[in-house]
Amino acid sequence: MPHRLEGYPIEDQGKAKETAKIGEDSKYQLGKDSKMSPLFTILITPEKKAEPLEVLIDSGATSSFLHPHTAEALCLPLIDLPYPRTVTMLDGSSPQAGKIWKKANLTFSFNGKQMTKTFLICNTGSHAAILGLKWLDAHNPEIDWNQRTLSFSHAPPEHIAIAEEEEANQNPLEGVPSEYHQYAKVFGEEEFNKLPPHAAL
C-alpha cells in the first residue's frame, strides 16, 4: 500500500509530504504472485559491483529509497539527515518502519547511462531499492507499460555535413549570354589569383 512521507522537498529542508512504498517483504511478494498487474522492476548495475540489483520503478513514490541491507552490502557511507523523515500510510496510519534518519549516494548504470542518485535509507521490502517519481522526472525514460520495459532515448550521432564533390562543368559559359563571353578570362581562376598591375606614381 502506498505510504505518505512527511519530510522536506529539497532533499533536506522545508516541510512537505511525499509518498513512498515501504514495508514488509510479504507485501511485495503478494503483488508479484497475485493476479494483479506485475510490479515494474529493472536491473541496475552499481559502480564497482558487477552483479546487478533489482529495483522497483514506482511512480507513486516521490522519493527514491534504498534498503539498509543493500547499502551495507555496497559499503555505502550513510549520511545523517538534518531532520528525520516521518513516514505515514496514505490512510493516516503509521507503519513499523518509523522515521527515516539516513540517506546514501549510489552511482549506478542502466541502459548504457551512468547516474548518481541520493536514496533515503529504509525498508524497501523484497527489492534492493525503489526509484520514484523524482528520478522519473529527472531522467524522463521511455516506458513500455505493456512489455514492462524502460529505456533512455539515445540521441543520434552527430553528422558532419560534407559537400559532395561535383565534376567540373565542361562548358563553364553555358547559360551565360554570348555578349559576356569575351570577359570569361577575367573571371577565370588563373586571372583571379594574379595581383593587379602596379600603377605608376
What is the number of residues in the chain? 201
How distant, in Å, are the alpha carbons of 46, 111, 137, 166 from that of 115? Answer: 10, 11, 14, 47
Classify strands 99-110 and 142-144 as parallel, antiparallel or unpaired. unpaired
For residues 64 and 137, give the distance between their C-alpha atoms in angstroms, rounded to a whole number.
Answer: 12
Host H or E run for residue 73: helix 68-73
- According to DSSP, residue 36 is labeled S
Cell match 516521490: residue?
Answer: 62
Asked whether the beta carbons of 4 and 89 are under 8 A apart, the reply is yes
Classify strands 53-57 and 129-131 as parallel, antiparallel or unpaired. parallel
What is the CA angle 57-58-60, rounded to 5?
A: 165
**Phi and psi angles of residue 73, each rounded to the nearest 5 degrees, phi first:** -65, -35
- According to DSSP, residue 193 is labeled T
First to last CA, the chain: 98
User: Which pLDDT score, from 0 to 100, does residue 63 have?
Assistant: 87
Q: Kindly list the structural domains of the chain, giving each domain's residue range(s) and its CATH number in brackets, ordered by start.
A: 3-151 (2.40.70.10)
- Which amino acid appears at position 46 of this protein? P
User: Which pLDDT score, from 0 to 100, does residue 174 have?
Assistant: 72
Q: Which residues neighbour 21 within 8 Å (Cβ) at sequence distance 6 or greater? A: 1, 2, 3, 56, 58, 60, 61, 124, 125, 130
User: Which pLDDT score, from 0 to 100, does residue 34 have?
Assistant: 43
Where does residue 65 rank: exposed (0-12), middle (13-18), buried (19+ CB within 10 A)? Answer: buried
Mean pLDDT by 10 residues, the chain (201 residues): 45 45 40 54 86 89 90 94 75 65 94 90 89 90 84 57 48 72 64 60 59
User: Which pLDDT score, from 0 to 100, does residue 60 have?
Assistant: 81
User: Which pLDDT score, from 0 to 100, does residue 201 have?
Assistant: 59
Of 132, 138, 108, 136, the residue nearest 120 (C-alpha): 132
Q: Which residues neighbour 135 within 8 Å (Cβ) at sequence distance 6 or greater? A: 64, 117
User: Which pLDDT score, from 0 to 100, does residue 88 have?
Assistant: 55
